[in-house]
Structure 1
Amino acid sequence: MDKAQDPAPDGAPAPVDPPAPAGAEGVPPRGGFWRDLPPNTVGALWILAAAFLFTVMAALIKLAGERLSVFQILLVRQSVMILVVAPVILRGLPGSLYTKRPSLQALRVICAATAMICGFTAVIHMPLADATAISFSKTFFITVFAILFLGETVGRHRWAATIVGFLGVLLMLRPQGDGFVDIYAVLALVGAAGAGMVMIILRILTRTDQPSTILTYQALFVGLIALGPALYLWIPPTPQEWALLIVTGLVSWAGQMCNIRAFRAGEATAIASLDYTRLLYATAIGIVVFGDWPASVTLAGAALIIAASLYTVRREALRGRALARAPEGRGYNT
């Protein structure tokens, strides 16, 4: 359910790594200011930064999308991210290309590309807060897909939360009296469903494949999917648009890194709910930059989904179960 680089990270398809010791890879050295903070506080600060960066990424995509196609944006974004993670990819070759589940890798790439293309299109054409709110329905789809494809048993409490989340989804689609709905809201919902499916596939893939393998397939093949349509629809970017596209890729990578550090430093059940601050960021940026105010029905639907998600997180924490999300499975960076 869009973080690109989903090293089995991007939702808890994969089990979350336990907090790493001071100075471990991905966690800042616990010295000075950091040393005096509890691990969950450190994780909370990182996840707040990640949520902000993912929202900035969406705003940059919206700005670039005023003239450029979503495929062109996705191609340049993936290219920038590939360049950033190239040392990791190259260091793992040829082993990073070996997978025991090639069909699942292919399905995951297709779902991730669908999630990003639909999600980015919705961001470009909808108020930023509305598109962000609908993306939260990924949590609802993860529950449904886990039941259908993983055979998970869900009790009455989680079923109740899932039904409430579904009502929130219906509310955000804003059906009209004539039976029509906002096509871009539907695309945002399809993107959320694709992101949810990515999380389920991740949970299976991480049992057999290395994180570097998952990262390599994601980075390379999502870009290749966008290549053909991007070249066909290519519009020479202005210098300002090139800057937007390059910064989009860098911000996407930075958001992923903050996300990974958040879940390595703190407990998922303690910090995951802070992801919903993206709605606050999106509302503020949408008003200031684009002059867009979120629809009241969108906020109401988002409230239902967030309430249902928080209830599920709280109940799972009380039962001592691992939260079903992975550090790299958030936002549009699926």
Structure 2
Amino acid sequence: MSPPRTHARVIRRLHVANHRLSSLPGNLRGILWMLVAGLFFTTMVTLIKLLGARLHVTEIILIRQIFMAMIVAPTIVAGLPGSLVTRHGHLHALRIACASVAMFAGFTAVVHLPLADATALSFSKTFFVTIFAILFLGETVGRHRWLATIAGFIGVLVILRPDAGGGVNLYAGLAVAGAAAAAVVMILIRKLSQFERPVTILTYQAVFVGVIMLPFAIANWKTPTPAEWGLLVIAGFVSWAGQMCNIRAFRAGEASAIAAFDYVRLLYATAIGFLLFSDLPGLHTLAGATLIVAAALYTAWREAYLGKKVTTQSGLRSDPP
């Protein structure tokens, strides 16, 4: 079969697949996009784990940021000079610093911990967001969410096992620190999005996280082999693809209906960790992860229930007598 005819068949099949996908209910489409996003993100951390066997984490982050900046460069350039104009430089600086800590700590944990353990601990970000939202945004949290938060942290402690001889594992501690820093980033994005354009928020992190990593990467530089360059490029691409799928997921479906499916990453991480690294999570990891996921799912269900209740009550009040 000739190449033009083969190309035409591929394009036609893609159009058919896109039509079938668009005909599905919104929440189902959102769930499917979320499942694909989870696979991309798990692939990314797997590649980072493989690369981290020889390359320093700061070098990996630097090259990843360069690749990401290249992808979003058209958006950044199109928005100049407005994409760099801000009156909240201090919030951007704090976000960039926290994002750098989150990447360094989280990626270091991924390199040195079993994938399932690192992934489970990263989910503690949900509960740090609750605490930081109270401290920095003044949000009110009810007893149900507090109980879920406490249960989630108990799950983290079960995985960390601080009393299991020798104290807390350094890399497990870094995973939790990375999750806490990522939670601060989410709070700052929520704050910045009230008065900054998305392109401005995107530009500062895309560029300046790489700037922060540059001196550390130079100090620890090891020239990547051709195979490692290939993995770095793939890691950058799947990171971007995961974010795009995540955006499409939340555009297609309701956040309360699809957010819980982010936890499929734990299943992906367990399977990939076993197949590539012969790692299986221990009973303490399974028990702790169960608590973390159950608490987060309960929080999501509770928020969805309250949201529907408020909507119903508002509808009843607005109905004519």
Q: CA deviation at 1:296?
A: 1.7
Gaps of 5+ in 1: 1-27, 322-334
C-alpha contact 2:100 2:212 (8 A) present in aligned 1? yes
Matches of 2:164 and 2:124, distance apart in 1:
23
In the superposition, relative to structure 1, how do residues 31 and 285 fare at CA in structure 2: closer, same or farther (>3 Å)? closer
Aligned to 1:205: 192
Large movers: runs of 4+ above 4 Å:
28-31
Which residue is 2:117 aligned to?
130
- Alignment-derived partner of residue 324 in structure 1: none
Partner of 2:32: 45
Name the CA shift for 1:82/1:204 in 2 (closer, same or farther; >3 Å). Answer: same
- Tell me if the contact between 1:34 and 1:42 (Cα under 8 Å) persists in the aligned partners: yes
Identify if the C-alpha distance between structure 1 residues 250 and 300 changes in structure 2 by more than 3 Å, giving closer, same or farther. Answer: same
Query: Partner residue of 1:101?
Result: 88
Identity %: 61
Q: Which amino acid aligns with 1:151?
A: G
1:43-192 aligned within 5 A: 43-178=30-165, 180-192=167-179
In terms of Rg, which structure is larger? 2
TM-score relative to the length of structure 1: 0.86
Map Cα deviations across residues 62-103 of structure 1 (whole Å, 9 max, x no partner): 000000000000000011111111101111111000112110
Q: Which runs of 5+ in 2 are unaligned?
A: 1-14, 309-321
The amino acid that maps onto 1:241 is E
Residue 270 of structure 2 corresponds to which residue in structure 1?
283
Asked whether the 8 Å contact 2:55–2:222 carries over to 1, the reply is yes
Counterpart-to-counterpart distance in 1, 2:65 and 2:18: 34
Distance 2:272 2:122 in 1: 17
Distance verdict in 2 for CA 1:64–1:179, change over 3 Å: closer
CA contact (8 A) 1:100 1:208 kept: no
Which of the pair is proportionally richer in helix?
A: 2
**Counterparts in 2 of 1:154 and 1:161: CA distance versus 1, 3 Å:** same
2:224 to 199, 214, 237: 237
Partner of 1:5: none
TM-score computed with the length of structure 2 as normaliser = 0.89
- Residue 179 (structure 1) shift: 5.5
Residue 15 of structure 1 is matched in structure 2 by none
1:176 CA drift (Å): 3.4
Aligned 8 A contact 2:156 2:292 in 1: yes
**Distance in 1 between residues matched to 2:149 and 2:266, nearest whole Å:** 20
Q: Whole-Å Cα distance in 2 between the matches of residues 29 and 182 of structure 1?
A: 50
Q: Retained in 1: the 8 A contact 2:109–2:175?
A: yes
Q: 1:62 to 1:30 in 2, by over 3 A?
A: closer
Does 1:254 pair with 2:241? yes
Q: CA RMSD in A?
A: 1.6
Q: What is the deviation of 1:30?
A: 9.8
The Cα of 1:246 is off from its aligned counterpart by 1.1
Q: Give the drift of 1:166.
A: 1.3
Counterpart CA distance in 2 for 1:48 and 1:160 is 28
